[in-house]
Amino acid sequence: MLIRLGYDIQFDISAPVAFVAQLRVHPSRHADLREPDVLHVEGLYAGVDIPSSEYIDSYGNVCTRFFAQPGPLRLWNTTLIEDSGLVDPVALDAREIPPQELPDDVLRYLLNSRYCETDLLSPIAVELFGNIAPGWNRVQAICDWVNAKVAFNYNFARPTKTALDVFTERVGVCRDFQHLAVTFCRCLNIPARYVAGYLGDIGVPLRLPMDFSAWFEAYLDGKWWAFDARNNTPRIGRVLMATGRDAADVAFLTSFGSSTLRKFEVVSEEELPPTQAPVGA
């Protein structure tokens, strides 16, 4: 399956601003790209890119730095990626790894972080999920609980909302669902990391306005597995962009100054092969 990915994000800038963007496909999916994955940064003159540079952060994500002058700012890209077309894998027998046996680079995903207060939610996590057999089914039970108990509503989104806030208020957006699930996992010594990426409506009858998506990954049986407390069903066509401890590590755009958003469009949809012309045409 081929999936067309892209975005068109536009701002008005009133004063010079430095930015860091995480809008590139994650390096783990680079081999699947069938077209270049290029972040175009345009200022006052459309078609003329603002100079930018890239680096890999401590989580392995591609970050792009640039400095925008006052005026319009446009970030855009279109690329094509090959995907298996299969739903998220499920491994019901995947086991939890004891903390003392975890790889060094996985341990940090057991710790408290900006939006995931394990110290405050540990007693609740143990009460709710401590009696469930360790492994895949316990992570799935966490997703089931969060999906059932938290209502989705864009009107209740705010950048300061933490996992404890979500548990208390029982409403939020996709990132809030994932933060609460990630926190519950960590409270039970299951490494969990927050993920940002593309997730279109492939195989889903209900079509909603596109946005970048959030899910999370749990470390079981020596590998990372995708879970999604918001949608809570295996999906087709997840494309990873960035991973981190929580949303603070994977913001699609960080600005060191003010800007006004005036357009935000995201594309993630199956691209069908062109119809072949009849023989002799």
> Per residue in 231-259, pLDDT tens?
999 999 999 999 999 999 999 999 999 99
pTM here?
A: 0.93
Query: Mean per-residue pLDDT for 258-281?
Result: 80
Among 104, 73, 103, 86, residue whose Cα is nearest residue 222: 103
The order of strands in the sheet holding 71-82 is 40-42, 71-82, 2-13, 260-270
Write the burial class of residue 92 (CB in 10 Å: 0-12 exposed, 13-18 middle, 19+ buried).
Answer: exposed
Cβ contacts of 277 within 8 Å, gap of 6 or more: none
How big is the CA angle at 269 (ends 204 and 225), to the nearest 5 degrees?
Answer: 65
The order of strands in the sheet holding 52-56 is 52-56, 62-68, 17-21, 253-255
Cβ contacts of 206 within 8 Å, gap of 6 or more: none
Residue 44's pLDDT is: 81
pLDDT at position 277 over 50: no
Query: Mean per-residue pLDDT for 118-128?
Result: 98
Q: What is the pLDDT confidence band of residue 179, given thresholds at 50, 70 and 90?
A: very high
Output the six-digit token pair for 106: 């996985």
203 versus 112: which is more confidently predicted? 112
Report the C-alpha gap between 153 and 185 in whole angstroms.
24
Distance between alpha carbon 91 and the CA centroid of its chain, in Å?
A: 21
Report the C-alpha gap between 115 and 214 in whole angstroms.
14
Query: Mean per-residue pLDDT for 91-102?
Result: 97
Residue 281's pLDDT is: 46
- The answer to whether the beta carbons of residues 72 and 43 sit under 8 Å apart is yes
Q: What is the pLDDT confidence band of residue 273, given thresholds at 50, 70 and 90?
A: confident
Say which DSSP state 57 is in: -
Cα separations in angstroms, 2 against 89, 158, 235: 19, 34, 15
pLDDT at position 141 over 90: yes
Report the C-alpha gap between 134 and 72 in whole angstroms.
52
Query: Mean per-residue pLDDT for 78-92?
Result: 97
Domain architecture of the chain: domains with CATH = 2-84+252-269 (2.60.40.2250), 99-248 (3.10.620.30)
